[in-house]
């Protein structure tokens, strides 16, 4: 009887775990976490210790989980009217709003706790991060610059990694890294938002595709990604990067070009491939290019 009951309960636990994981899009952590770790690597006089890496990852994961949950909660009514998102856990009723709110608070609490184990500046700046991560969820109701606001939020992760290593923000390098991340994220978020062009117009929501049309939105996305590559190039010059960095940057440029080749104004069928697959590769490439270059510099 006991074994039978345990067997009956286990699928529920698995299903619940999958629901929460899907809601916070755990797999999308690959987009910005490598850049937070890149900031950590670049600001360290030597490779960072495992304790610093652990607390940085925990702080980032808590911040991202809280922000994503809050976004899902705030947008739940809109999501329920969008055929693409109506099956999400909160609008479909599989996760209660109150539970999502509690989870968001706990996640932000984890972020603050982790920040307290890093240099004091991390904890001092964390309220600004909390405000920005919470504010972003309302920006589609206010301005078509919402994509830039999201980009700045994730660009802040790179700055957070820099500060976590004890680095100061009084040089150009961390800001170039943050600019690269911010424009990269804003660019691919615009591509993703093209899917909701008609819904955003109907709901009177603001986005670059809804404001300027899909064709112009894709051109703006391309321009932002040109800024991304330019900022990374300037970062490479600023840190006297070696071969590994520049090879990685060339590969990133190729991947971004490929991303834009996948999406056309009259064909959005490959948006998901452009959004997740390509950008996941971009962030990992950037991290390893920076890490390998840093290790090579330290070896000399």
Residue 1 lies in a domain: no
CB 54 within 8 A of CB 66: no
Residue 3 lies in a domain: no
Range of the structural domain that residue 79 is part of: 11-299
Residue 246 lies in a domain: yes
d(CA 169, CA 100): 34
- Tens-digit pLDDT string for the chain (300 aa): 444 454 444 446 677 777 777 776 666 666 778 888 999 999 988 888 899 999 999 999 999 889 889 989 998 888 888 888 888 888 888 888 899 999 999 999 999 999 999 999 999 989 998 899 888 889 999 999 999 999 999 999 899 999 999 878 989 999 999 999 999 999 999 999 998 888 888 888 899 999 999 999 999 999 999 999 999 999 999 999 999 999 999 999 999 999 999 989 888 888 877 777 788 889 999 999 999 999 998 887
Read off the CATH number of the domain in which 283 is found: 1.10.357.140
Number of structural domains in the chain:
1
Q: Enter the pTM of the model.
A: 0.87
Residue 5 lies in a domain: no
Residue 37 lies in a domain: yes
């Amino acid at each position: 009887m006991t074994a039978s009951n345990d067997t009956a309960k286990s699928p529920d636990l698995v299903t619940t775990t999958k629901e929460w994981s899907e809601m916070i899009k755990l797999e999308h952590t690959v987009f910005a976490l490598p850049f937070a770790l890149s900031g950590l690597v670049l600001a360290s006089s030597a490779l960072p210790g495992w304790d610093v890496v652990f607390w940085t990852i925990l702080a980032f994961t808590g911040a991202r989980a809280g922000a994503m949950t809050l976004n899902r909660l705030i947008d739940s009514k809109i999501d329920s009217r969008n055929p693409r998102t109506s099956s999400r856990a909160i609008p479909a009723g599989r996760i209660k709003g109150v539970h999502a709110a509690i989870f968001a608070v706990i996640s932000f609490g984890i972020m603050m706790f982790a920040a307290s184990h890093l240099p004091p500046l991390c904890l001092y700046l964390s309220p600004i991060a909390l405000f920005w991560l919470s504010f972003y969820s309302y920006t589609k109701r206010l301005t078509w610059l919402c994509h830039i606001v999201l980009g700045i939020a994730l660009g802040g992760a790179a700055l957070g990694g820099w500060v976590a290593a004890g680095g100061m923000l009084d040089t150009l390098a961390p800001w170039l890294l943050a600019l690269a991340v911010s424009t990269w994220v804003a660019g691919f978020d615009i591509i993703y938002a093209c899917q909701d062009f008609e819904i955003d117009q109907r709901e009177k929501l603001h986005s670059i595709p809804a404001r300027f049309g899909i064709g112009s939105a894709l051109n703006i996305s391309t321009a932002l990604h040109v800024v991304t590559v330019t900022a990374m190039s300037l970062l490479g010059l600023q840190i006297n990067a070696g071969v590994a960095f520049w090879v990685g940057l060339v590969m990133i440029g190729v991947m971004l070009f490929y991303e834009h080749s996948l999406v056309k104004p009259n064909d959005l069928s490959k948006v998901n491939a452009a959004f997740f697959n390509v950008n996941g590769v971009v962030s990992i490439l950037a991290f390893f290019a920076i890490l390998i270059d840093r290790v090579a510099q330290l070896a000399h």
